[in-house]
Chain A
């Protein structure tokens, strides 16, 4: 037990004492926040500039063959309608740069929902401004008969739906029900992105720096592997606690500095649902999936002779974890589909698929527990393979361990 504790402490401190560990932990949320701010500022800046340019665009010709464009709207934009007979001449002027643009609303506009724009240059900002202008003229002309500005705004922008959901005859929280079990999906990817790789590097570096032989003299391979697994779990908890703290601080501080936090998809923190069954299942899928992947990573590192080769081999596991995203709509809406069933039980995809299905609530009880049992079986196999590969491959410094040797006596 004391050796296990020593291995855990050594592995944990080796990771968290690295400056790179904290640099990555701080840099990732900082970069995400920076990108968010820059995107908002950039989009606002572009939108403002397009609006400004739109106001200054006066040298634009408009031909209306559809009869849908309102002359008053065109006049309000300080523009005039031209005759369809002038089409060729106006197009030539645009080509020669004498006019900035020509907008042609064709006869069958309502049927084809397509109109033509001719521009004197390929300047993206000008293109955005003239597109915005032509779109506004069309929409305002169509909505003008509605009457009041409020009704026109309603027709143009629509209205938000205040939804009420019922489940089993009782009112439910709707999307807010998915949030808490959905956090396990997010957590899995955080673990996957940050921690699973530690198992790979921990074993392959130990092998590469030749410290393995001295270690194995004093520690059983299973104690070493278990110690590494538990240490990586502690590292993961450290990361989750750190990100959780950052998130909480952001939620608390942001409103006080004039940045109200608006969560996506109408998520309301006060209406979150904490369903014990889905939380227990989420935790079980996360824990089992983590150990299964960690087992595969350890085996890969033990089989490969160097960190570089181990990293190459491990690519297949990373692909496996991201495959479910290509099927996410099907997984969420069509759980009876044979592809979803296959992905639910296939070891490399089962953790993510099970977590998504648990989050959206389309796992019936028996199927969820069966998926967990199958995943648990694969987890046991992966750890057995990891320990076996470790025993055989730990001292193979120059060649890849043969897979067949894992199953020999």
Chain B
């Protein structure tokens, strides 16, 4: 059986008097796109921050490659947070190289990657331009570039297509496809269910900090007797919050199992 790259066990998070996440369990496998879904305030971002070691779990464990993630071993993780931004006063190439260095790359490698990425996303002429001079969509491309630097084995994308036009949205999804083909596991957070239908192998729907649906896309659809993830999402959020947390609907499987 394939070892999960991400393993979350009995994870709970309490901040102040608020229970953000309650007894959450899930795995993410290498090479899969794992859709991590939930309404605003359901605990998705807090879970990701805990997985990255920014927040400390109240109970339970969150492991990446068999160990808790810290800045020292986060080099193989790419993260595009929901609350994202860049150093607006710095130049594009300088910013990318800086993040590459923080991810453990050499300056030369970070520069080579950055120039290649800028060419790929048709921003090579912006390398020496300050970030604040770029449009919102162009800044988002740079942020994606920063996230995928250093050949990540795990890529966490929190609403990556928010604010992108259709052309750049397709470009981003193509890049995610390519990374997946190379074996990168992707945790994909979105409110756009058509993206889930197109990309995801497995999913987890979080409500009030608890898993309400978890498994392969096909198995979840089968369990909820629906052909639409969006309908399942709406159905879950219409349920009363007191219902019990969800166990996996099926064993993890490949994309073809959808």
Contacts and interface: CB of A to CB of B under 8 A. Distances in A.
Contact of A218 (B80, B88, B89, B103): B103
Interface stretch (A73-81, A176-184, A205-213): A205-213
A235 to B, nearest CB: 14
Given A395-B54, A395-B83, A397-B83, A214 B88 contact: no
Given A18-B89, A397-B83, A217 B94 contact: no
Contacts of A142: none
B52 interface: yes
B66 interface: no
A7 B84 CA distance: 19
B81 interface: yes
Interface of B: 49, 52, 54, 70-72, 74-75, 77, 79-81, 83-90, 94, 98-99, 101-104, 143, 146-147
A59 interface: no
A210 B83 contact: yes
Contacts of B89: 14, 18, 205
17 contacts: A2-B101, A6-B101, A10-B87, A10-B90, A10-B98, A14-B87, A209-B88, A215-B102, A217-B52, A217-B54, A217-B71, A217-B74, A217-B79, A218-B71, A218-B104, A219-B71, A220-B71
B131 to A, nearest CB: 9
Interface string A3-23: 100110010011000100000
Given A3-B102, A218-B74, A213 B90 contact: no
Of A205, A216, A218, A223, chain B has the most CB atoms within 10 Å of the CB of A218
B93 to A, nearest CB: 12
Contacts of B87: 10, 14, 206, 209, 211
Contacts of B79: 213-214, 217
A204 to B, nearest CB: 13
A119 B85 CA distance: 69
Contacts of B90: 10, 14
Contacts of A220: 70-72
A22 to B, nearest CB: 14
A133 to B, nearest CB: 61
Interface in A174-232: 205-206, 209-211, 213-220, 223
Contact of B81 (A18, A214, A218): A214
A216 B75 CA distance: 12
Nearest to B53: A217
Contacts of B143: 214
Contacts of A10: 87, 90, 94, 98
Nearest to B69: A217
B182 to A, nearest CB: 21
Given A7-B102, A214-B147, 6 more contacts: A13-B94, A209-B86, A210-B84, A214-B81, A214-B143, A218-B102
B92 to A, nearest CB: 14
A10 B54 CA distance: 22
Contacts of B77: 217
A217 B70 CA distance: 7
B169 to A, nearest CB: 21
Of B89, B146, B147, chain A has the most CB atoms within 10 Å of the CB of B89
Contacts of A2: 101
Contacts of A217: 52, 54, 71, 74, 77, 79
A106 B240 CA distance: 99
B128 to A, nearest CB: 12
Nearest to B147: A214
Contact of A214 (B70, B75, B99): B99
B101 A216 contact: no
A211 B139 CA distance: 12
Given A13-B94, A213-B54, A214-B79, A219 B102 contact: yes
Nearest to A218: B102
Contacts of A209: 85-88
B101 to A, nearest CB: 4
A315 to B, nearest CB: 24
A3 B70 CA distance: 14
Contacts of B70: 220
Interface in A1-59: 2-3, 6-7, 10, 13-14, 18
A380 to B, nearest CB: 23
Nearest to B52: A217
B102 to A, nearest CB: 4
A39 to B, nearest CB: 37
A304 B103 CA distance: 28
B102 A211 contact: no
A3 B101 CA distance: 7
Contacts of B98: 6, 10
Given A218-B74, A220-B71, A395-B49, A213 B81 contact: yes
A371 B75 CA distance: 44
A16 B72 CA distance: 29
Contacts of A215: 102
Nearest to A210: B85
Contacts of B72: 220
A68 to B, nearest CB: 70
A221 B26 CA distance: 28
B3 to A, nearest CB: 23
A211 B88 CA distance: 9
Interface in A369-405: 395, 397
Contacts of B146: 214
